[in-house]
Amino acid sequence: MDLSVREKGYLVVGGTAGIGLAAARSLAEDGAAVVVVGRDQERGSKAAAEILEAGAARATSLSFDVGKHGGAARSVEEAVEFLGRLDGVAITTGTTGHEPISASDETWTAAFRDVLLGTTRTIEAALPHLVSTKGTIVTTAAYSIRSPEIARLPFAGLKSAVAVFTKGIAKEYGKHGVRANCVCPGAVETETLRAVRDYIAKERGYPHDEALERVMVEEWGFTAALGRPGQPHEVGELIAFLLSPRAGFLTGALINIDGGTNF
């Protein structure tokens, strides 16, 4: 499917690896111009090169921590300067907070900045540009906001706030033609789970393409209907679709993409 994003400009925060990079690559394959933001400059440069190779009209990376003061505003400002316009923003950052509720104030504050503040400040900075282009927003929460676990309540609680914030933006800015949707991934085989797969296959002698699934189901109590983790490209393609004009009547949605973990 042609996403109709050729020459349109998109910002993907957290786009230097994992789900974010997959979303950026999917946009690039249909000729979009893309800016990715991450904290690691070297990884960002590699990601930008990969996105260009995939077919992007233009691509570059920026090194910012959007959870820190001024980081989100500067990333949006520099992205718009590079792109010339802003048609959509995806925020795929926010992975900390997998701690018990007894976590220190410092841990809670760090999770707040990473999971929630980076998202809200990026959208705040982007909205004037998105109003002018009738642009789109995609945020990322998690399947666990529907089924929170006591061992990681800071993460689930803050991701729930992301979902509520996104719905609020969709409701208020729909009159300006701006759409906002929130994606809730389940277990996705990004770098961390891929390393676990490699380790298990080597240590236990399991077939590589079965190793992670066996441990997840037999030992971790993984109950997803599909019986496997997702792949970054599966979530990235959904994000790219939601950013594109192809999803033109879809806004305010909370979309699980978790292989049927919790219905």
The mean pLDDT of the chain is 95
pLDDT at 171 over 90: yes
Indicate the range of 10-14, 35-39, 152-156, 232-236 predicted with least confidence. 152-156
Q: Nearest CA to 88 among 31, 161, 32? A: 32
pLDDT at 126: 98
Cβ-based neighbour number of residue 44 at 10 Å: 23
pLDDT at 150: 85
pLDDT at 135: 98
Q: Assign domain 9-188+233-253 to a CATH class.
A: alpha beta
DSSP run (H or E) holding 37? strand 33-38
pLDDT at 57: 97
Domain ranges of the chain: 9-188+233-253, 190-229
pLDDT at 263 over 80: no
What are the structure tokens assigned to 228, written together?
Answer: 């496997």
Cβ-based neighbour number of residue 224 at 10 Å: 19
What are the structure tokens assigned to 36, written together?
Answer: 């990715």
Contact assessment for residue 32 and residue 26, using Cβ atoms and an 8 Å cutoff? no
Cβ-based neighbour number of residue 249 at 10 Å: 5
Strand partners, 60: 35
Q: Nearest CA to 31 among 48, 49, 10, 55? A: 55
Q: Please, where are the H alpha helices in 112-152?
A: 118-133
* Composition of the chain by helix, strand, coil, percent to 5: 50, 15, 35
pLDDT in tens, 42-90: 999 999 999 999 999 999 999 999 999 999 999 999 999 999 999 999 9
